[in-house]
Structure 1
Amino acid sequence: MPRAVVYLPDPTSRAAAASQVAGRAMLVRTLLTGERGGVREIGVPASLRDAAVEGRIAANPRLRAAVVWLDRLSPAQARDWSSGPLLLLPANVLLDPQSLRRLLAERDPGEGIALEESKGSLSPILLAPAALAAALWDRLVQGAPLGDDLEVRVRQGRMTLVVGAGFFVPVLDEASRSEAEATLFRSLGISADSHVDRMINRRCSRWLTRFLIRLPVTPNQVTLLSLALGLAAAWMLWPARPASALAGFVLYLLAVVVDHSDGEVARLTFQESAFGEWLDFTTDTVIHAALVLGMGVTASRVGEPTMLVAGAVAAFGVILSALFARFLPEEASGEERLATVLKGLGTRDLFYLVLVAFLLGLWFAPGLLPILVGLLAVGSQGYWLTCLGRRWVTGR
């Protein structure tokens, strides 16, 4: 894996590199993007060093291991760096890390590789061959502007061009900084988002996320806040009173917004982790199981006491269904249409409908709640049993 060096495209880029985009300086975003893109060492000229940047690097173990200040290299280390290919990253460009992975995965025929989106931007991203890296080394160490020279080399047409995998936004002024931030927030949705998520929840969560990324909070702390709101929502169902249940529904909606925000904070601050993903899944499952159990408690109080058992059975089904939905392979079998239907049954939109039906029943027809909870107890088993049956039939 080649090393990378951050460069300044033009004299104004130093100020742009210090500008804040979604709570992080552009230079810090460039460093984190390089690290996430698969670069093992990233050289930075001394002209970009300041207390704020050094503080961010010191606070991030991955950056501490990856970032190298070029003026602190020994002569032997400098010769080693300048003698091999170097990935040249402009300090003021918002870039999807997947684009770097694509570029680095391309085989260099010898003339270098450039990201196609960066051509013509005066902030090209390219993998410079050893000869070019050696020729530019002194200017890279000095932090001299290189955008024009690199653009000329890209336009000569000898470099291999690679199409990136996402956004490429040079930050030059306040307008482009705002566009870069808007681009980041537009990219925050995930494939599992339901229609309500896309139309309402994501719009609300982005406002919350804009506030949270400026606070010293971690994504996991945001997840725990979502858990607290969700459990409070479930608790509000237990009194079996319409006003209390309505308050619980509102708390659940807030929990969903916060649940969206934790992942957004993680992606914007480069704090994604396997543990955070597991915590988010567990929290989501616990909240929905607790809400279903709360429906059973309410149904047992306004109707048959046995509905408490039905609520517990429904909660058990929710947990198993969540596990199957999470671990069901996208291509588990040739029955792709069935897989799509099964995934659709596990969306929040369906759960919203169940909650609304529960609220309307509690307000206007309490005697029907046992029927609703009974159907929920049966339906929640249907999802995971269908998944299990499909796996048994297909052997996958």
Structure 2
Amino acid sequence: MAQTLPKPTKTLSLDTAVILASSGGVPSTGRGAEGSSPFRQVAGLSVFQRAVFTLQRAGFSQVLVLAGEEEDELRRLLKDDPRLFIPVRWRPTREFPPEEPKTWHALAGEVEGACLVLGGHLVFTGSLAELLREQVRNGQTALVVSSAGDHKATRGTGAQNLQSSPADGSVADMLIVPAGWLGHCGGTGAGSPGSRLLIGEALRSTPLPGLLDQALVNGGLRTVATSAVSPHWYQEVRDAPGATRVENLLLRSLTSELDGVVDRYFNRKLSGTLTKLFLRMGLSPNAITIVSMVIGLMSAACFALGSYTAGIIGALLFQFSAIVDCCDGEVARLTFTESPFGAQLDITADNIVHMAIFAAIAWAQYASHGEWLSLALGLCAVAGVAGSQWLVDRARRLRRSGWSQPDQAGRSNALLSHIANRDFSLVLLAFAVTNTLDWFLRLAAIGSNIFWVLLAWITRPSAPARV
């Protein structure tokens, strides 16, 4: 007679993940073997590193790793890594074989609440890990995360992806099991023959499918359906084509809410190729920021020459600089190397380029026409950008410490989103093509000063809240 699984007496939390590093595909055949899934590189990180950092970013407080002969090399991947601040606990499979129930009985004592169990061959989004934690907090005690193929893909988010039972043909590669159930593991196998739930290779030899079959019988099992068209996805990485596919998915997910029209439909389409190149070269996000700034300064040098052709070349170089400027953030997010210094460097480099371009156009106009007005307009534009830089730094400090008025936060964030918008590059190109850079200089002188005045007004200490 089937055993009855204990019902949790309180709301559970999902803070622990168990990675089956030895079940991820082709066995390792030497130090860091490329054929072994946990070691395969995807967007600058190994699959194993990416899993650990994604779990950490999603709020998990510890990771347990069941590893075989690859343990030493996996340890080296994380050793002294400043990005890692949660404990990673190692359990050698010679002492904790994943196919043995006693292993899971032992792990039950190391888990509070529920645990996420997954193979070492998976890449998944942080939003999926956050969704799973939310579902457990909302009272879902047993979950399987399945992929049903694109023809059954669900585009919803959150609870819209939650199904009462597994769909036909769905494959489960990630499981969430309450800690109290782990002590009831017995036997092995991929579940009952009539089960509609297909267990993925990494989990198939563990005793966990039997627990899930029992939960399915008792009506306590739910499925989170995922696909590549959902923001909550996971993908297997077992070979080079799989790594390339997942890398492309990760790049497509790197859009920002601050992206303008040019970023969404042009810059991001091209920056992905450069981002892959920079990752293979091992360039840091800050180094890419400097590359973007140097290209921008080359653009300013072209504008200073004053000819129509030089202006077109300058505008195209500035557009190229804007594309490269997308890459520093993409590399930072892909490699979990975002930093306050990097964000500050990015803004400062952008403003240095803008000031150089405004000054170069002003000089070219003065050299061509001998009008002091051009120099005055250039000075106004440069001063406007410098004032904006100071106020943007101040607004960012206020945002970190907390606004005195909620209304200030909304208006300031709306205004700051415009300074991160790269549509400005297309505007400059249009003025260069139409040979009206003198009018661009006028608009820049006016616009940059209007911006800092508005930001100064919004962030003033005495700004009242709207009622």
User: How far apart, in 2, do the equivalents of 1:275 and 1:209 lie?
Assistant: 20
CA pair 154-388 structure 1, distance change in 2 beyond 3 A: farther
Picking from 417, 422, 434, the partner of 1:348 is 422
Instruction: Give the partner amino acid of 1:56.
Output: L
* 2:451 alignment partner in structure 1: 383
State which of 266, 278, 295 in structure 2 corresponds to 1:229.
295
Question: Deviation per CA, 1:232-266, whole angstroms, max 9, x where unpaired?
Answer: 22222223233333332232122111111111111
Is 1:220 aligned to 2:233, yes or no?
A: no
1:183 to 1:33, Cα distance in 2 relative to 1, 3 A: same
For residue 34 of structure 1, the aligned residue among 49, 52, 55 is: 55
Q: How does 1:185-200 map to 2 (within 5 A)?
A: 185-200=251-266
Change (3 A) 1:265 1:390: closer
Greater shift after overlay, 258-267 or 61-70?
A: 61-70
Please give the alpha-carbon distance, in whole angstroms, between the structure 2 residues aligned to 1:316 and 1:3.
52
Equivalent residue number for residue 368 of structure 2: 302
Aligned residue pairs: how many?
A: 385
Verify the 8 A CA contact 1:94 1:171 in the aligned structure 2: yes
Q: Structure 1: how far apart are the matches of 2:345 and 2:73?
A: 31
C-alpha displacement at 1:305, in angstroms? 2.7
Deviation at 1:343, TM superposition (A): 5.0
Provide the residue aligned with 2:17 in structure 1: 4
Give how far 1:154 is off: 6.2
Give runs of aligned pairs for residues 93-242 of structure 1, distance below 5 A: 93-105=122-134, 112-114=141-143, 120-126=170-176, 128-135=177-184, 145-146=205-206, 148-149=209-210, 152=213, 155-156=216-217, 157-159=219-221, 166-171=231-236, 173-174=238-239, 176-242=242-308
Contact 2:24–2:121, Cα closer than 8 Å, also in 1: no
Partner deviation per Cα, 1:186-220 (whole Å, 9 max, x = no partner)? 10111111212122211211011112212222111
Please say if residues 299 and 314 of structure 2, whose CA atoms lie closer than 8 Å, have aligned partners that are also in contact: yes
Offset, 1:18? 3.9
Assess if the C-alpha contact under 8 Å between 2:145 and 2:173 holds in 1: no
Which position in structure 1 is the counterpart of 2:75?
Answer: 54
Higher helix share: 1
Structure 1 residues 207 and 345, CA gap change in structure 2 (3 angstroms): closer
Give the direction of change, closer, same or farther, for the CA distance of 1:308–1:172 in structure 2 (3 Å limit): closer
Q: Identify the range of structure 1 (151-160 vs 88-97) with the bigger mean alpha-carbon deviation.
A: 151-160
Structure 1 residues 341 and 63: CA distance shift in structure 2, 3 A: closer
Q: Could you say which residue in structure 1 is the equivalent of 2:378?
A: 311
1:336-374: CA deviation from partner (whole Å, max 9, x where unpaired): 89986995587322442134314532xxx7xx72x5423
* More off after superposition, 80-89 vs 321-330: 321-330
Partner of 2:3: none
Q: Secondary structure at the match of 1:122?
A: strand
Distance 1:382 1:116, change over 3 A: same
Q: Which runs of 5+ in 2 are unaligned?
A: 1-13, 28-35, 97-103, 148-165, 189-201
Give CA-to-partner distance per residue, 1:23-57, whole Å, 9 cap, x none.
Answer: 43322221121121222321111227256533321
Q: TM-score, normalising length from structure 2?
A: 0.68
C-alpha spacing 1:173/1:339, structure 2 compared with 1 (3 Å): closer
Separation in 2 of the partners of 1:42 and 1:64? 11
Does structure 1 conserve the Cα–Cα contact (< 8 Å) formed by 2:65 and 2:88? yes
Give the percent of matched residue pairs that are identical in Structure 1 and Structure 2.
23
Matched ranges for 1:57-76 at <5 A: 57-58=78-79, 60-63=81-84, 66-71=87-92
Cα 1:179–1:27 shift into 2, 3 Å: same
Aligned CA distance change for structure 1 residues 155 and 248 (closer, same or farther; 3 Å): farther
Match of 2:334 in 1: 268
* Aligned amino acid, residue 182 of structure 2: A
Higher mean C-alpha deviation, range 31-40 or range 49-58: 49-58
Structure-1 separation of matches of 2:299 and 2:68: 52
1:157-192, CA deviations, whole angstroms, 9 ceiling, x for partnerless residues? 425667899332231655654442221111011111
Matched to 2:311, the amino acid is: A
Q: Structure 1 residues 194 and 58, CA, compared in 2 at 3 Å: closer, same or farther?
A: same
CA separation of 1:246/1:23 partners in 2, compared to 1, >3 Å: closer, same or farther? Answer: same
Q: Secondary structure at the match of 1:279?
A: helix
- Coordinate RMSD, CA, aligned: 4.2
